[in-house]
Amino acid sequence: MRLDIRSLVSLAGIAATPLILAGMGVTHPHELTPQTAGYWHLLHYLLLPIFPLLGVNIWWLLRGVTGPLAWIARGLAFIYMTFYGALDVLAGIGTGLVMMKATATDQPALTGVNQWLFAQGNELAEIGVWAFGLACILVSVLLIRRVGRMAIPGSILLLGAAISFLSSHIYYPIGVVTMLVMAFGFGWLEWARLRGESLAAAKPTLQEV
Protein backbone atom coordinates (compact mmCIF):
# COMPACT_ATOMS: atom_id res chain seq x y z
CA MET A 1 0.00 0.00 0.00
CA ARG A 2 1.37 3.40 -0.97
CA LEU A 3 0.78 5.86 1.85
CA ASP A 4 -0.68 9.18 0.79
CA ILE A 5 -0.57 12.37 2.84
CA ARG A 6 -3.91 11.63 4.49
CA SER A 7 -2.72 8.18 5.60
CA LEU A 8 0.59 9.53 6.89
CA VAL A 9 -1.26 12.19 8.90
CA SER A 10 -3.55 9.52 10.32
CA LEU A 11 -0.59 7.33 11.35
CA ALA A 12 1.26 10.26 12.89
CA GLY A 13 -1.85 11.46 14.67
CA ILE A 14 -2.68 8.17 16.35
CA ALA A 15 0.92 7.70 17.53
CA ALA A 16 1.29 11.29 18.72
CA THR A 17 -0.40 11.01 22.12
CA PRO A 18 1.65 8.11 23.54
CA LEU A 19 4.82 9.63 22.07
CA ILE A 20 4.10 12.95 23.79
CA LEU A 21 3.37 11.11 27.04
CA ALA A 22 6.66 9.22 26.71
CA GLY A 23 8.52 12.51 26.36
CA MET A 24 6.76 14.01 29.35
CA GLY A 25 7.39 10.85 31.33
CA VAL A 26 11.16 11.35 31.00
CA THR A 27 10.78 14.55 33.04
CA HIS A 28 8.20 13.19 35.53
CA PRO A 29 9.60 13.40 39.10
CA HIS A 30 9.68 10.04 40.87
CA GLU A 31 8.70 11.61 44.19
CA LEU A 32 6.71 14.61 45.33
CA THR A 33 8.93 16.78 47.51
CA PRO A 34 9.07 20.49 48.35
CA GLN A 35 11.71 20.79 45.61
CA THR A 36 9.68 19.02 42.90
CA ALA A 37 6.22 20.27 43.91
CA GLY A 38 6.12 23.20 41.49
CA TYR A 39 6.94 21.12 38.42
CA TRP A 40 4.82 18.21 39.67
CA HIS A 41 1.83 20.57 39.87
CA LEU A 42 2.48 22.11 36.42
CA LEU A 43 3.20 18.77 34.71
CA HIS A 44 -0.13 17.29 35.77
CA TYR A 45 -1.96 20.39 34.56
CA LEU A 46 -0.39 19.72 31.16
CA LEU A 47 -1.17 16.00 31.32
CA LEU A 48 -4.83 16.56 32.20
CA PRO A 49 -6.05 17.05 28.58
CA ILE A 50 -3.49 14.65 27.05
CA PHE A 51 -4.16 11.36 28.84
CA PRO A 52 -7.82 11.17 27.65
CA LEU A 53 -6.57 11.19 24.04
CA LEU A 54 -5.46 7.57 24.49
CA GLY A 55 -9.15 6.76 24.75
CA VAL A 56 -9.82 8.85 21.65
CA ASN A 57 -7.34 6.57 19.84
CA ILE A 58 -9.65 3.63 20.58
CA TRP A 59 -12.53 5.52 18.99
CA TRP A 60 -10.24 6.42 16.08
CA LEU A 61 -9.46 2.77 15.34
CA LEU A 62 -13.15 1.88 15.59
CA ARG A 63 -14.43 4.48 13.14
CA GLY A 64 -17.07 2.87 10.95
CA VAL A 65 -17.04 -0.37 12.98
CA THR A 66 -20.52 -1.37 14.13
CA GLY A 67 -21.95 -3.96 16.47
CA PRO A 68 -22.23 -4.37 20.26
CA LEU A 69 -18.54 -5.17 20.87
CA ALA A 70 -17.49 -1.97 19.13
CA TRP A 71 -19.86 0.08 21.27
CA ILE A 72 -18.73 -1.65 24.44
CA ALA A 73 -15.13 -0.79 23.51
CA ARG A 74 -16.11 2.84 22.94
CA GLY A 75 -17.88 2.90 26.30
CA LEU A 76 -14.84 1.42 28.07
CA ALA A 77 -12.62 4.04 26.42
CA PHE A 78 -14.93 6.75 27.79
CA ILE A 79 -14.74 5.23 31.27
CA TYR A 80 -10.95 5.32 31.01
CA MET A 81 -10.99 8.98 29.96
CA THR A 82 -13.14 10.08 32.89
CA PHE A 83 -11.65 7.96 35.67
CA TYR A 84 -7.98 8.22 34.73
CA GLY A 85 -8.26 11.98 34.65
CA ALA A 86 -9.02 11.88 38.37
CA LEU A 87 -5.45 10.69 38.96
CA ASP A 88 -4.05 13.90 37.47
CA VAL A 89 -6.47 16.07 39.42
CA LEU A 90 -6.08 14.43 42.83
CA ALA A 91 -2.64 12.79 42.90
CA GLY A 92 -1.07 15.34 40.57
CA ILE A 93 -2.54 18.84 40.75
CA GLY A 94 -4.04 18.42 44.24
CA THR A 95 -1.01 16.94 45.99
CA GLY A 96 1.36 19.36 44.25
CA LEU A 97 -0.74 22.31 45.40
CA VAL A 98 -0.86 21.06 49.00
CA MET A 99 2.91 20.57 49.06
CA MET A 100 3.55 24.06 47.65
CA LYS A 101 1.15 25.75 50.06
CA ALA A 102 2.47 23.79 53.04
CA THR A 103 6.03 24.78 52.17
CA ALA A 104 5.15 28.43 51.51
CA THR A 105 3.28 28.80 54.80
CA ASP A 106 5.68 26.63 56.83
CA GLN A 107 2.90 24.21 57.75
CA PRO A 108 4.41 20.78 56.92
CA ALA A 109 1.59 19.03 58.76
CA LEU A 110 -0.74 19.97 55.88
CA THR A 111 1.00 17.45 53.63
CA GLY A 112 -0.55 14.68 55.71
CA VAL A 113 -3.66 14.91 53.52
CA ASN A 114 -1.64 13.95 50.47
CA GLN A 115 -1.74 10.27 51.37
CA TRP A 116 -5.53 10.43 51.10
CA LEU A 117 -5.37 12.26 47.78
CA PHE A 118 -2.90 9.73 46.38
CA ALA A 119 -5.03 6.82 47.60
CA GLN A 120 -8.24 8.20 46.09
CA GLY A 121 -6.55 9.15 42.83
CA ASN A 122 -4.98 5.71 42.44
CA GLU A 123 -8.28 4.00 43.22
CA LEU A 124 -10.07 5.89 40.46
CA ALA A 125 -7.15 5.49 38.05
CA GLU A 126 -7.26 1.71 38.54
CA ILE A 127 -10.81 1.67 37.21
CA GLY A 128 -9.62 3.72 34.26
CA VAL A 129 -6.64 1.56 33.30
CA TRP A 130 -8.64 -1.67 33.55
CA ALA A 131 -11.31 -0.14 31.31
CA PHE A 132 -8.59 0.91 28.86
CA GLY A 133 -7.08 -2.58 28.87
CA LEU A 134 -10.44 -4.20 28.14
CA ALA A 135 -11.07 -1.67 25.36
CA CYS A 136 -7.68 -2.59 23.85
CA ILE A 137 -8.62 -6.28 23.90
CA LEU A 138 -11.91 -5.60 22.13
CA VAL A 139 -10.44 -3.27 19.52
CA SER A 140 -7.73 -5.84 18.78
CA VAL A 141 -10.27 -8.62 18.32
CA LEU A 142 -12.45 -6.45 16.11
CA LEU A 143 -9.59 -5.32 13.88
CA ILE A 144 -8.18 -8.84 13.52
CA ARG A 145 -11.64 -9.95 12.43
CA ARG A 146 -11.84 -7.00 10.06
CA VAL A 147 -8.40 -7.04 8.37
CA GLY A 148 -6.94 -10.41 9.36
CA ARG A 149 -3.40 -11.30 10.37
CA MET A 150 -2.04 -7.85 9.51
CA ALA A 151 -3.47 -6.60 12.80
CA ILE A 152 -1.90 -9.28 15.02
CA PRO A 153 1.53 -7.63 15.63
CA GLY A 154 -0.11 -4.30 16.48
CA SER A 155 -2.55 -6.05 18.80
CA ILE A 156 0.28 -7.78 20.66
CA LEU A 157 2.13 -4.48 21.10
CA LEU A 158 -0.99 -2.64 22.23
CA LEU A 159 -2.05 -5.32 24.70
CA GLY A 160 1.46 -5.59 26.13
CA ALA A 161 1.51 -1.83 26.68
CA ALA A 162 -1.98 -1.89 28.21
CA ILE A 163 -0.86 -4.54 30.71
CA SER A 164 2.20 -2.50 31.66
CA PHE A 165 0.06 0.64 31.93
CA LEU A 166 -1.84 -0.99 34.80
CA SER A 167 1.04 -0.15 37.11
CA SER A 168 3.58 1.98 35.25
CA HIS A 169 1.85 5.36 34.70
CA ILE A 170 4.50 7.27 32.68
CA TYR A 171 7.35 7.11 35.17
CA TYR A 172 10.80 6.64 33.64
CA PRO A 173 11.92 4.10 32.54
CA ILE A 174 9.07 1.53 32.54
CA GLY A 175 6.28 4.03 31.91
CA VAL A 176 8.21 5.71 29.10
CA VAL A 177 8.87 2.37 27.38
CA THR A 178 5.19 1.49 27.87
CA MET A 179 4.12 4.62 26.00
CA LEU A 180 6.62 4.01 23.19
CA VAL A 181 5.35 0.45 22.72
CA MET A 182 1.79 1.76 22.81
CA ALA A 183 2.62 4.27 20.07
CA PHE A 184 3.90 1.46 17.85
CA GLY A 185 0.84 -0.65 18.67
CA PHE A 186 -1.64 2.08 17.78
CA GLY A 187 0.36 2.97 14.69
CA TRP A 188 0.54 -0.62 13.46
CA LEU A 189 -3.19 -1.17 13.96
CA GLU A 190 -3.98 2.03 12.09
CA TRP A 191 -1.65 0.94 9.27
CA ALA A 192 -3.34 -2.50 9.16
CA ARG A 193 -6.75 -0.87 9.02
CA LEU A 194 -5.73 1.49 6.21
CA ARG A 195 -4.10 -1.36 4.28
CA GLY A 196 -7.19 -3.52 4.72
CA GLU A 197 -9.38 -0.75 3.37
CA SER A 198 -6.99 -0.25 0.44
CA LEU A 199 -7.02 -3.95 -0.44
CA ALA A 200 -10.79 -4.12 -0.19
CA ALA A 201 -11.16 -1.13 -2.48
CA ALA A 202 -8.78 -2.69 -5.01
CA LYS A 203 -10.76 -5.92 -5.38
CA PRO A 204 -12.55 -6.07 -8.74
CA THR A 205 -16.30 -5.94 -8.71
CA LEU A 206 -18.47 -8.53 -10.48
CA GLN A 207 -18.97 -6.10 -13.35
CA GLU A 208 -15.21 -5.72 -13.80
CA VAL A 209 -14.50 -9.45 -13.90
Residues in the chain where the model's pLDDT stays below 50: 205-209
Domain count within the chain: 1
18-45: string of b/e by CB count within 10 Å (b at 16+)? Answer: bbbbbebbeebeeebeeebbeebbebbe
Determine the longest span between alpha carbons in the chain, in angstroms: 82
Is residue 86, in this structure, part of any structural domain at all?
A: yes
Is residue 209, in this structure, part of any structural domain at all?
A: no
Is residue 127, in this structure, part of any structural domain at all?
A: yes
pLDDT for the residue 203? 66
Is residue 208, in this structure, part of any structural domain at all?
A: no
Whether the Cβ atoms of residue 190 and residue 61 lie closer than 8 Å to each other: yes
- Global pTM value: 0.92
pLDDT for the residue 51? 97
Range of the domain at 9: 5-202
Is residue 81, in this structure, part of any structural domain at all?
A: yes
Residues 141-192 pLDDT 10s: 999 999 999 999 999 999 999 999 999 999 999 999 999 999 999 999 999 9
Is residue 207, in this structure, part of any structural domain at all?
A: no
| Alpha-carbon separation of residue 3 from 12, 37, 64, 77, 192 (angstroms) | 12, 45, 20, 28, 12
Looking at residue 30, the DSSP 8-state letter turns out to be S
